[in-house]
Structure 1
Amino acid sequence: MTLTFPRALFGLTVAAFALSAQADEVQVAVAANFSAAAQKIAAQFEHDTGHTVKLSFGATGKFYAQIEAGAPFDVLLAADQVTPGTLVTEGKAVPGTLHTYAIGKLVLWSADPALVDGRGEVLKSDKWKHLSVADAKLAPYGQAAKETLAALKLTDGVQPRIVTAENIGQALQFVQSGNAELGFVALGQVQPPDGSKVPGSMWLVPDNLYTPIKQDAVVIAATKVNKAATEFVDYLASDKARVVIKAYGYSW
């Protein structure tokens, strides 16, 4: 007896085998502020390419130290331009893959819907006890917060009430948990991607109070999956990815 195998099904099987044979796992170090957007983009990328993406979230400064020490990351999505640029200069990242994938916005946020006013005047009041700020030495959003307080001439006045977080993700957690009534965080962390109202209350810090937060991506030179890593970095500039990036409050 002769067994027949439908040609269309055979073609699909071969295509699926080829895709799985070419699929790689890409290890991506992601600045904490971009966590939610990165998860959605990674899921889209996996669906479209067959590759797997493993995301690690944290402070850009810490990732730099880990990469310097040989951590097996394939891609860095930083919260600044300096760190990826330094890696390129040192020969530890691939020059042609370096580009800005997002420009972030700083906000003063509170879980209390009545606490933060539209001009940030609450910073001058006694309505709060603790202000959560990411470590400026490790996190670019922490540096932006530092610059904002300096521009407003509030540094000395609020310094005793600042709670320093390791990264912008922890800065948000401090406010969410009630350990701080206020916090400087990224708009992308608190803006719902469906366009609904931001929970709590917030002040969108004017751009002229801090250096623009241009966030760069780059492929790490030591990667063993260069093609897949480069595809992921390129994917960040795709129309699909940019829809997500915009939905979370970033521009590019």
Structure 2
Amino acid sequence: GKAVLGLQRPTAGTVEVAGQDVTGMSLRQRSRQVADLRVVFQDPYSSLNPARTIGQTLVEPLRLMGVTGTEALARARSGLESVGLPGEAVDRRPAQFSGGQRQRIAIARALVCDPKVVVLDEPVSALDLSTQAQVLNLLADLRDQRGLSFLFIAHDLGVVRFLSQRTVVLYRGQVMETGPAEQVAQRPRHPYTLALTAAAPVPRPAEQAARRAAREAAGFGTAGAASPSATGCPFVPRCPFSTDVCVAQRPPLRLLDGSLTACHHAERVPRP
């Protein structure tokens, strides 16, 4: 997420927005792209300045684009209304809102510039379940209404499946599996994806207990239990299917059942 936003220089590869390479752009050049690429941060309590009104917060990115005065304030009010908050909230401060409302304000701040791409960094993980559902439904509606592209970063595959069309599963910075969101969630072919699926909470205690027992029986190790292989698969220390070839050779991505999977033994991974 930081590499895409230009907050951290990538060590390899390129970042393209709407077909334009923005990887090596200077800060001056990137400032012209501010309307095309926006972000919603994880914590709604720390991403808003408590000393500023909501109107001041929403108008600031517009000011950088040259939109000022009554037009900027009108767009700020419209942005709040688009996320289900009253336009007069521009005169209030963050302390007067709940966590879910603050995240709606953060979403309005991202959308007020009418961007092409929005980076969502764990946007619902700090919220309770009912508020999570409201924010996710709001994001889905805004995506469809405005034709937005979301780069949605999360650890819960269930949430990813709800909002995304394509999923990329990363472990220690390496792509483990990628494919259509429904395919990856329903029929994972990488052991790490299977572990994530098994760890996702469900609202039925009996099923949750069965999932936990199945995960423990599979023998997945805990994160940080051992150092990853320098030459092989980074998931080796935790993987119950690993063999010598996994330690010696990093598996390439290969197509299997509609997904690209980086695993030497993907055929052995059981269905959840």
TM-score (norm 1): 0.28
Instruction: Provide the TM-score with structure 2 as the length reference.
Output: 0.27
Bigger relative contact order, structure 1 or 2 (CA pairs below 8 A, ≥6 apart): 1
Whose strand fraction is larger, Structure 1's or Structure 2's? 1
